[in-house]
């Protein structure tokens, strides 16, 4: 695990996007494609700011969602809706909407999760579990990542690759999320975390070694934690 505590949010964005640049270029060179999973929340604004600065062949990107809120895409809670509005429609990077693998609308939550798992099986190589080149993760002040919340039964999911929840403690309640079998099979996972409100849980995870959903991310490859000095306040001397 690599932990970096940086001076500012801007430094976090630069470090995050440098890692995205090198990983995407290595994956494209090796496999001709870059399979990346993105999160919602503050990560959207980090990528909107940082991705236009990197050098990569965006036409080779396939973008999946680490989790998605089951709302229409014009709803401000839709993670795909945010990326579409802020990254695709603005044309600040050369990505098109059809490079995003989206959650099915107008079906039940269970069907949306099942459908998304089938899309992973079809599109992301891995034997037998899909193996992402890179997963870009956030973490809430309660230690959740993706839509894996503390104490929720899907933390123990070992069969399904994508799970549905209808009781997210953070609105909106209906979501689908990758589960640990897929998350922890990724080549690289990166947490990008900023803000004072996350300092306590960062300490509990990295100093006290307490169990939180984000702490259970232990990918087969590398796990990076990139944070600003507010989030890492209890880690620096
Ligand atoms: O609800 C969610 O929250 C987490 C953390 O969001 P942040 O704004 O605190 O960074 C996010 O990673 C996840 O994708 C999202 O659905």
The response to whether residue 130 sits with its C-beta less than 6 Å from ligand 1 reads: no
Is there a domain that residue 124 lies in? yes
**194 in a structural domain:** yes
pLDDT for residue 237 is more than 90? no
Confidence of residue 109 (pLDDT cuts 50, 70, 90): very high
State the total domains in the chain.
Answer: 1
Q: How far apart are CA 5 and CA 123, in angstroms?
A: 35
- Is 233 within the bounds of a domain? no
Would residue 237 count as lying in a domain?
A: no
Residue 71 lies in a domain: yes
Distance, CA of 155 to CA of 70 (rounded, Å): 19
Average pLDDT over residues 150-171: 97
Spatial distance between the Cα atoms of 148 and 105, rounded to a whole number of angstroms: 21
ipTM confidence score: 0.99
Which amino acid residue places its CA nearest to atom 15 of ligand 1?
40
Alpha-carbon distance 121 to 182, whole Å?
11
**What is the CA(45)–ligand 1 centre distance, in A?**
11
Quick check: 236 pLDDT over 80?
no
pLDDT of residue 192: 98
Q: Ligand 1 in contact with 27 (CB < 6 A)? A: no
Per-residue confidence (pLDDT) for residue 219, from 0 to 100 = 85
> In this structure, is residue 108 part of a structural domain?
yes
pLDDT, one tens digit per residue, over 87-100 is 999 999 999 999 99
**CA of 69: how far to CAs of 63, 118, 190, in Å?**
16, 18, 21
84 CA distance to ligand 1 middle (Å): 17
In a domain, 41, yes or no: yes
Domain that holds residue 221: 2-228
**How far, in Å, is the centroid of ligand 1 from the Cα of 173?**
13
Q: What CATH code is carried by the domain that includes residue 72? A: 3.40.50.1360
Residue 236 lies in a domain: no
Hey, which of 16, 36, 37, 41 would you mutate to test ligand 1's pocket, going by the most ligand atoms within 8 Å of its Cβ?
Answer: 41
Q: What is the DSSP string of 188-237?
A: EEEEEE-SGGGHHHHHHHHTS----GGGG---SSEEEEEEETTTTTTT--
CA distance 19 to 15: 6
Phi and psi for 193 in degrees, rounded to 5? -135, 125
Q: Are 169 and 160 in contact (CB under 8 A)?
A: no
- Find how far residue 161's CA is from the centre of its chain: 15
Whose Cα sits closest to atom 9 in ligand 1? 140
Among 135, 137, 132, 61, CA closest to 93: 61
**Main-chain dihedrals φ then ψ at residue 164, nearest 5 degrees:** -105, 135
Instruction: Give the mean pLDDT of the chain.
Output: 97
Q: Determine the average pLDDT of the residues in 133-138.
A: 98
Minimum CA distance residue for ligand 1 atom 2: 41
Give the ranges where 7-124 is alpha helix by DSSP (H). Answer: 9-31, 42-50, 79-83, 109-123
């Amino acid at each position: 695990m690599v932990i970096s505590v940086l001076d500012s949010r801007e430094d976090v964005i630069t470090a995050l996007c440098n890692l995205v640049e090198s990983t995407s270029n290595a994956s494209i060179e090796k496999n001709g494609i870059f399979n990346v999973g993105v999160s919602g929340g503050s990560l959207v604004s980090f990528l909107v700011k940082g991705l236009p600065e990197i050098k990569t062949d965006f036409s080779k990107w396939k973008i999946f969602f680490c989790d998605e809120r089951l709302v229409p895409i014009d709803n401000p809670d839709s993670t795909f809706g945010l990326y579409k509005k802020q990254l695709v429609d603005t044309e600040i990077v050369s990505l098109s909407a059809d490079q995003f693998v989206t959650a099915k609308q107008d079906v039940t939550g269970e069907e949306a999760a099942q459908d998304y798992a089938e899309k992973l099986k079809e599109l992301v190589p891995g034997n037998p579990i899909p193996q992402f080149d890179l997963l870009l993760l956030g973490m809430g002040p309660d230690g959740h990542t993706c839509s894996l919340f503390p104490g929720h039964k899907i933390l123990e999911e070992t069969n399904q690759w994508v799970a549905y929840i209808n009781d997210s403690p953070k609105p909106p309640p209906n979501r689908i999320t990758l589960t640990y079998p897929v998350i922890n099979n990724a080549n690289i996972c990166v947490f990008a975390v900023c803000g004072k409100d996350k300092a306590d849980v960062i300490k509990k995870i990295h100093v006290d070694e307490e169990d939180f959903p984000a702490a259970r991310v232990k990918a087969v490859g590398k796990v990076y934690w990139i944070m600003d000095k507010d989030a890492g306040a209890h880690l620096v001397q």
